[in-house]
Amino acid sequence: MKLSIKGKETFFNNCIKEILKIIKNGRGMMPGDLVSDEEAKILVNWLEEMK
């Protein structure tokens, strides 16, 4: 399946949101609140730069 540039960007943005949600809320055996809100913003900015 090929995604257009816009499709890839949307997919990547959704992945960033999901990663942020997991970091903040936890998942499975991973506890939530592993990072502060400020650290989460830094991580999201870094991930956005990597796309």
pLDDT tens digits along 1-51: 565 767 777 888 888 888 888 888 889 898 988 888 888 889 888 888 886
Structural domain containing residue 44: 5-50
> Rounded CA gap, 18 and 5, in Å?
20
DSSP three-state, residue 21: helix
pTM of the model: 0.62
Please report, to the nearest 10 degrees, the dihedral formed by the alpha carbons of residues 39, 51, 21, 40 taken in order: 10
Q: Please give the mean pLDDT across all residues of the chain.
A: 82
> Rounded CA gap, 11 and 51, in Å?
11
Task: Report the domain count for the chain.
Answer: 1
Q: How many helices (H) and strands (E) does the chain have?
A: 2, 0
